[in-house]
Amino acid sequence: MKRYLYLWHRWLGIVLCLFMALWFVSGVVMLYVGYPKLTPREHLLHLPVLGSPAPSVGLDAAMTAADPLRPPASMRLSTVAGEPRYLFTYPGHSNVAVSAVSGQKIPAVDREQALASARQYAPQAHAEYRGAVDEDLWSHSRGLDADRPLQRVELDDSDNTLLYISGQTGAVVRDATRLERGWNYVGAWLHWLYPLRGIGLDGIWTNIVIYLSLAATVMALLGSVIGVLRWRFQRPYRSGSRSPYRGFARWHHLGGLIFGSLAITWIFSGLMSMNPWQVFSSATPLKVAAYSAGPLTTTAFPLTAQQALARFDGQGFKARELEWRLIGGAGYLVGHDGAGSTRVLSMADGQVLTRLPREVLESAAKAVWPEGRMHSEQLEAYDFYYYARAEHSMMGHIEKRLPVLRVKFDDPQQTWLHLDLYTGEVLGVLDQPKRASRWLFALLHSWDWLPLLHNRPLWDVWMIVLSVGGLLISGTGLVLGWRRLRH
């Protein structure tokens, strides 16, 4: 039996140690440079204040021009290519833009429109058109699907920024600086095995990552068992050492004993990040859409965009983007400024609010699970399930403000909602499978543990030391595997 343990570990290692070494090296890069994305902060920072030119087309006319047959999932007013535009999203369909000046639906975005959007993003930089792509190295994210094809424009600014512009709306949807692009070749692009994308393997890319991670987990487990079996706890070997190996094999043995369990948890949690076989997907999820209590229609929004902008301006708030939101059947207009602050205009009484009343959100949340009990609490500090991450990290661009309202239901999946008191947005849906993912992926893979996250550089030291330990195991394994193949 021992012989088979050695053989399986050896040959799995020969195949997989290269991948493991690449994962540990690229993981360290990802601690500081994430995959390119346009964060909400960057998006708002490059928008002008709404109002010049003034939006002269009403929301009703814009919705009709966008799609007269179905209501949108979301609608915003923003400035795109120098003019105010209504932006609509439809689940499973391409995004749509309508000019708030002419009332015309924006056709497919061409070169001139893309350059106009780039000039708005960076007025002082020269913009060079780089052509259209459906998907490339820095645009693999599924969140961009509704905007494809993407127009690319390169800026000659200090960051040599590459902009990706929606082919549907003309809005800038991604920026990738020279630094991000350079580091990503040995960072996220490598870590997620994106070199396998775009070469005909896209359909099986997910399964490749899942089964490589699974095999690497088995390999690491076997190695830990063998490492313990080969260690002399009581009587040393003739050499006086408790390890029978020398050279790279000895370093591999000792590294595995010291860092093996942590390497196993890291590889296994990487596997869990892929949600393999839908283990973190609920069979009976709550219908959170009931929180809105209806589709987005103009009847809930009697005030025009111009009137809303005037109300915000009267409070000294300079909105750069407006977002229409339905909460419990009542209409609200959320304004965003360039600093990331928000104000909410109630359509019922015309009041401008800094925060929505807690009871408004609780009443709307009750519709999500009307037949059961609901418990709510207002969090004034971060905890294990609600916390902020660095902006460049995977979900760090989602702003996690405090206080926040947590609502718990007694449905079969024990679902929790996190509701933003500043905008009314549902920030997260956590049922039992997703809370399990929080433990098996986020904690074990990124060490999202508040005592570490709140005490940097302690978190950095911890992550780098563990990564070096993992690289020691995989690097020495790579050398041993190469020697075996040579012979």
**pLDDT mean for each 10 residues of the chain (487 residues):** 81 90 96 95 95 88 94 96 96 96 95 97 96 95 96 96 98 97 96 90 93 95 91 87 91 94 94 94 90 93 94 95 96 95 95 96 96 96 95 88 97 96 96 96 94 93 95 94 85
Position 34 scores a pLDDT of 94
CB 85 within 8 A of CB 99: yes
Position 225 scores a pLDDT of 92
Position 238 scores a pLDDT of 83
Position 485 scores a pLDDT of 84
Find the distance separating the first CA and the last CA of the chain, reported in whole Å: 24
At what angle are helices 2-30 and 458-486 packed, to 10 degrees? Answer: 130
In angstroms, the CA 408 to CA 421 distance is 16
In angstroms, the CA 96 to CA 357 distance is 32
Tokens 């009267």 label which residue? 314
Do you know the residue count of the chain?
487
Tell me the whole-structure pTM to 2 decimals: 0.93
Position 352 scores a pLDDT of 96
Residue 365 CA: distances (Å) to CA of 287, 382, 424, 472: 11, 21, 10, 50
Q: Minimal CA–CA distance to 80: which of 107, 100, 58?
A: 100
CB 115 within 8 A of CB 142: no
Instruction: Mention every residue, 6+ apart, whose C-beta is less than 8 A from residue 411.
Output: 284, 286, 369, 372
Position 330 scores a pLDDT of 96
Collapsed DSSP state (helix, strand, coil) of residue 100 = coil
In angstroms, the CA 271 to CA 437 distance is 11
- What residues pair up with 152 in beta bridges, in sequence order? 131, 164
In angstroms, the CA 221 to CA 225 distance is 6
Task: State the burial class of residue 89 (Cβ atoms within 10 Å of its Cβ: 0-12, 13-18, 19+).
Answer: middle
Collapsed DSSP state (helix, strand, coil) of residue 60 = helix
